[in-house]
Structure 1
């Protein structure tokens, strides 16, 4: 029996919740996973998992073994990583989940710099506005905006951004340019954005210094995808709230104009997050450091965080 392979298979089954998903994540056949678990239980002379047709449950011995196995595998990965760092640059596959607009307007344009530094890393970039389950979906880390709804995640703050209002010139011609948030309540419409997990809409709470104004406006359209949200704004369907660097090309071309430029719609904190029992490999460590540098450098990418429309928005 390959005990290390069996331990890795067991840990993945526990995290994934079933043998099929664990086999997919390990990229090995399901019968191989089953055989490794059986061999491990025979070697340990104890039952680690209770199996049924629908689910896998961890036994008390299995729960204890999982914690110790996770620590052993983390130490082993760290040992391998330290040897690799001493001889070469970080290498291997890294799965990162990023909100769609953040990926398009901030992360992907900056990736040539990352690959120039770390050419041996392969990046599997999950682009979605859905909040993924890092462990179940085998994601190494994710970039999220707003309050973190899962307190078990390890989070590194990488920046903060402000939301502003924008609209297409054609929309302003039809409805007029508001001078105060209360003017928005006189026939204006917004484009709604709803949280993909909860279905709750993002609020339009306007602020200027110590002054605040809460808007309750009808929407012409609502979406849970930030790219579609921007497209709706460009089509003149209503007023949008997003980040200026994300729309700066459209401001320069005249396709969008600022609305209530002295006001903003709140401030969102950005984090890169990863699971506490996800070993911080050398490739994950350098990516986290690079992302923190990217968004904390004061450059345009720091502000290109459509992610506040994209993940766990504190008001969403």
Structure 2
């Protein structure tokens, strides 16, 4: 057996699918099946249990995968030790980023990172949904909000400060709210991961730290961050959004801060990656670089908060 065979087997095991593994690796499904069959013949044990719906590891397969992943990580580190420093990292990486963080913070800084590592190939997903890191083959994800993936390793980066904004046209037409009571005459743009979800409201944090939600009317519900911001710019209502993503619009006079004393609770920002004893050097490098890029825009790490707010 060789490392390429181990990598193919590991991807099948992680995804639970020959087809998905073949798609992500860019090889034919038939080759993936042949590699797994060859490995099983070499070790003299069945490593995967195949059903019509799912591919699962056998007990022998679980032991084989654990040791195989260690060998792959060791090989990656060994290779990196003897690469000329000028050549930088090499290989492929797949990362998922919140749309606004990718647009405003990460992608503008990518040229300098890739210039230092010209042999590295990055696949970047920007989506407002929560991807399955393992099933979809990501090496790491940058996540905003509370963490629910207990099987993953998390690196807390800090807390994302929120602000309340509205368009000048909206405020001219409806007035500027000063208190919670004033919100009865206003509308909010409601963000919900799934359309049809009710419960629009104004979130704010009391002096003691307790988080409250003041019910409000909404004229529109959106499930994407770009639409959320566009609706506010169009004068469709107030929004509560990350400070970093709206700063340039406030500076340009396209949005205006309102009720700064009644802002939503900051949201935790974390980097997540699979729970492995060792990480490939390229993954470690990207994790460290993302930390350096994002941390300066965040406050100190704190408790998790509301899960469904846009980022």
Q: Same fold (TM over 0.5)?
A: yes
Deviation at 1:303, TM superposition (A): 5.1
Structure 1: distance between partners of 2:200 and 2:116: 38
What root-mean-square deviation, in Å, do the aligned CA atoms of Structure 1 and Structure 2 show? 2.6
| 1:309 equivalent in structure 2 | none
Deviations 1:88-133, CA, capped at 9 Å, x for gaps? 3112222111111111111112223323433332221111111111
Residue 207 in structure 1 maps to residue 205 in structure 2: yes
Deviation at 1:239, TM superposition (A): 0.5
TM-score (norm. length: structure 2)? 0.88
- Evaluate the alpha carbon distance shift between residue 35 and residue 149 of structure 1 in structure 2; reply closer, same or farther with a 3 A threshold: same
Which of 195-204 and 279-288 deviates more? 195-204
Deviation at 1:17, TM superposition (A): 0.8
| 2:135 equivalent in structure 1 | 136
- Contact (CA 8 Å) 2:15, 2:134: kept in 1 or not? yes
Gaps of 5+ in 2: none
| 1:253 equivalent in structure 2 | 252
Deviations 1:73-102, CA, capped at 9 Å, x for gaps? 222222222223657311222211111111
Which of 238-247 and 204-213 deviates more? 204-213
Structure 2: distance between partners of 1:283 and 1:174: 52
- Evaluate the alpha carbon distance shift between residue 118 and residue 158 of structure 1 in structure 2; reply closer, same or farther with a 3 A threshold: farther
Structure 2: distance between partners of 1:22 and 1:197: 32
Deviation at 1:257, TM superposition (A): 1.0
Structure 2: distance between partners of 1:145 and 1:151: 15
Structure 2: distance between partners of 1:129 and 1:278: 30
- Evaluate the alpha carbon distance shift between residue 34 and residue 79 of structure 1 in structure 2; reply closer, same or farther with a 3 A threshold: same
| 2:188 equivalent in structure 1 | 190
Give 1:260-299 correspondences, 5 Å limit.
260-277=259-276, 279-297=278-296
Deviation at 1:274, TM superposition (A): 0.7
TM-score (norm. length: structure 1)? 0.87
Deviation at 1:189, TM superposition (A): 1.1
Gaps of 5+ in 1: 305-311
- Evaluate the alpha carbon distance shift between residue 295 and residue 122 of structure 1 in structure 2; reply closer, same or farther with a 3 A threshold: same
Question: Any runs of at least 4 consecutive aligned residues in structure 1 with deviations exceeding 4 A, and if so which?
Answer: 196-203
| 1:77 equivalent in structure 2 | 76
| 2:306 equivalent in structure 1 | 314
